Amino acid sequence: MAPLRDSAEFLRGFVRNPAQVGSVVPSSSRLEQRLVRNAGIAEARSVVELGPGTGGTTAALLKAMQPSARLLAIELDNRFYEHLSSSLHDSRLALELASAERLSDLLAARRMPPPDAIVSGIPFSTMPREVSDRIAALIANVLRPGGRFVAYQVRAHVAGFVTPYLGEPTKEWEFVNVPPVRVFSWVKR
């Protein structure tokens, strides 16, 4: 019943703010597994998720993480945050109601090391350009050398913002998702 409840909550979030949510349904399990692989979550000790939504991808990240790893999930939507707070209980998870623009401050406040992996579903194509650029620069700045940034997007705008900071990404499609999405992966030099 939880996946149905999550889907309904996700649809309500899209109706509330389509520019902020970016999709009408949560990520598919195939997409979640691709994100886990591309971000190297099994080896990561410090992970960040930008835009966890209703928590499907968050749960997949937690399932793949080592017992000693930590996950900082940053959600901008108050109702998604409340949903996550009541449905995900894992001592490795730090959930914050904030903008991704506060990434550096939130990592410092939680005393987390530079992330080995950052996974993002936030819609770079619908945010103001200056916000997208600030978030891209922050991601590149906080990611540890050799760390991975993985973004899943309907549109390719994220590449235009992140490539100046992290170089060219690998690009893949995940067609088993509604809607199909592009998955962009970077490794920080």
What's the pLDDT tens digit per position in 9-42? 444 444 445 544 444 456 899 999 999 999 999 9
**Position 132 pLDDT exceeds 80:** yes
Residue 11's nearest CA partner among 77, 75, 57, 85 is 77
Q: What is the pLDDT of residue 9?
A: 46
Structural domain span for residue 129:
2-187
Q: What integer is the mean pLDDT of 90-105?
A: 98
CA torsion 55-147-123-132 (nearest 10°) is 140
pLDDT in tens, 160-183: 999 999 999 999 999 998 889 999
**Position 155 pLDDT exceeds 60:** yes
Number of domains into which the chain is organized: 1
* CA distance linking residue 176 with residue 186, whole number of Å: 22
The CATH number linked to 13 is 3.40.50.150
Instruction: Tell me which residue has tokens 């994100």.
Output: 35
